[in-house]
Amino acid sequence: MKSVYWLQGGGCGGDTFSFLSSEYPDIIELFRQLNVQLLWHPSFSHLSPASHEDLLAQIHSGEQTLDILMVEGSVICGPAGTGMFHTRDGHPRKELVYSLASQASSVVAVGTCASFGGFGVDAVIEATGLQFTKKQRGGFLGKDFTAGSGQPVINLAGCPCHHDVVAGAIVALANEVSLELDEYQRPLEWYGTTVHQGCTRNEYHEYRVEESDFGEMGCLFFHMGCAGPLVPGPCNKLLWNQHSSKPRAGIPCFGCTDPDFPRATPFFQTPNIEGIPLSLPMGVNRAHYMVYKGMAAAAAPEHLKNRKSKV
């Protein structure tokens, strides 16, 4: 039987809410089928404070094995590196992050704050991710950290991370399946393709049929700030509530799986020069892209250009 401990760091709890949305299977059935013991989760567990302390003592002594440590939220190191902005019984919570990570066979960062620091990196709280601070390798545990299994921290980026990704990572680790990671330690299984892939608006993107306001059918990349072609993630393949995604529903992708999230520019605008976005799809040559998009717009089918439907 594998064991899981879920530690809450500096975050909003959105990844827990996402995980609670798991349906096929739900989280209780997931743990039951995997024969996984959830040692602790701050929202789901009913241990008394004293029993929780006993559990931590057992983990630290090695009496209780810790197979998978899931960390949600950033590690808060402020003020001045002390960590005293986020404490537990008068001690910096970051000490608990370090001691549990040292005991675990696998360490998983759930969400972008745990992975890369997220919203608190440039703030007075001095937030960092477990093994990255934005794009810089190192983070709280250091660039050379590996868990007991030999793998570095597994970053399940997203704000929040999709529940099927969290569940899938637990399934893999409970079965001791090694996950292949990209340069920012995100599993290629879910972060090997862009959010753009699978979007129902792809045909509009292809012919540069654009939207400049909400509520219609075109592509949101050119004016509305959609980051779908710029970032990896499964949002248009693993649908939210088994039903939809932000771009499918007409809301631009904010690029929440990117180490630099949240970006400095407004979420609902595309910074551009002469109508061509400053940031182009991954790996694209700017000059070629401008020629291609000009020709594509001229070739756009009438039924796309004359779209009338509301989403």
Minimum distance of ligand SF4 from residue 221's CB (angstroms): 3
**In the complex with ligand SF4, which residue's Cβ is closer, 136 or 193?**
193
**In the complex with ligand SF4, which residue's Cβ is closer, 154 or 209?**
209
Spatial distance between the Cα atoms of 107 and 11, rounded to a whole number of angstroms: 17
Spatial distance between the Cα atoms of 300 and 100, rounded to a whole number of angstroms: 56
Minimum distance of ligand SF4 from residue 226's CB (angstroms): 3
75-76/127-128 β-pairing: antiparallel
**In the complex with ligand SF4, which residue's Cβ is closer, 40 or 191?**
191
Minimum distance of ligand SF4 from residue 11's CB (angstroms): 26
Q: What SS3 state is found at 42?
A: coil
**In the complex with ligand SF4, which residue's Cβ is closer, 152 or 228?**
228
Q: How far is CA 214 from CA 40, 181, 311, in A?
A: 42, 36, 9
Q: Residue for token digits 């756009």? A: 300
**In the complex with ligand SF4, which residue's Cβ is closer, 118 or 228?**
228
Q: What SS3 state is found at 299?
A: coil
* Crossing angle for the helix pair 49-61 and 93-103, to the nearest 10 degrees: 50
**In the complex with ligand SF4, which residue's Cβ is closer, 83 or 228?**
228
Phi and psi dihedrals of 32, rounded to 5?
A: -65, -45
Minimum distance of ligand SF4 from residue 244's CB (angstroms): 12
**In the complex with ligand SF4, which residue's Cβ is closer, 94 or 162?**
162
Binding interface with ligand SF4 (CB under 6 A)? 195-196, 199, 201-202, 205, 219-221, 226, 228-229, 247, 253
Minimum distance of ligand SF4 from residue 144's CB (angstroms): 36
Instruction: Quote the distance between the C-alpha of residue 212 and its chain's center.
Output: 28
Minimum distance of ligand SF4 from residue 218's CB (angstroms): 8
Spatial distance between the Cα atoms of 296 and 294, rounded to a whole number of angstroms: 5
Minimum distance of ligand SF4 from residue 303's CB (angstroms): 17
Report DSSP letters for 157-214, one per residue.
Answer: -STT--HHHHHHHHHHHHTTPPPPB-TTS-BHHHHSSBTTTT-TTHHHHHTT-B-SST
